[in-house]
Amino acid sequence: MTQTLKSIIRAALDDVKADNVVEIDVQGVSDVSDLLVIASGTSNRHVRSLAANVVDESKKAGFRPLGVEGEDVGDWVLVDFGDIVVHVMQPETRSFYELEKLWSKVPASRKQDR
């Protein structure tokens, strides 16, 4: 199921020309989700359009997001599917929050559990 949803998300982002799409496996780092998909859009409108296409295409395939946040502003839209969380951001916002850097590190408390 997760692989199918991941493919749908990637295709939906590609259809609307997302920039710099990155997948981060957060299994073992997060108890909340297994995969983060991060993508950039060129403007508020593009970010909202990318996120809307992810929601629309996933619904067509029978996957409903648990929640969508940030679509009113468009700097950063989060689409939560549970196992997969999609972050669509403008480049400036993405650079400021550095999610790739944040989620690529295993917390010290998790290192001890291994």
Which pLDDT tens digit goes with each residue over 8-65? 999 999 999 999 999 999 887 787 889 999 999 999 999 999 999 999 999 999 999 9
- Domain assignment present for residue 108? The answer is no
Q: Tokens for 89, please give them.
A: 């951001």
User: The domain spanning residue 88 has which CATH number?
Assistant: 3.30.460.10
- Residue 107: inside a domain: no
> What's the whole-model pTM score?
0.88
Name the amino acid, one letter, at 70: G
Q: Which domain range does residue 42 map to?
A: 2-102
Would 15 be classed as within a structural domain? yes
Contacts 24+ apart (CB under 8 A), 15-19: 15/53, 15/57, 16/46, 16/49, 16/50, 16/53, 17/46, 18/50, 18/88, 19/91
Q: Would residue 17 count as lying in a domain?
A: yes
Residue 111 lies in a domain: no
What total number of domains does the chain contain? 1
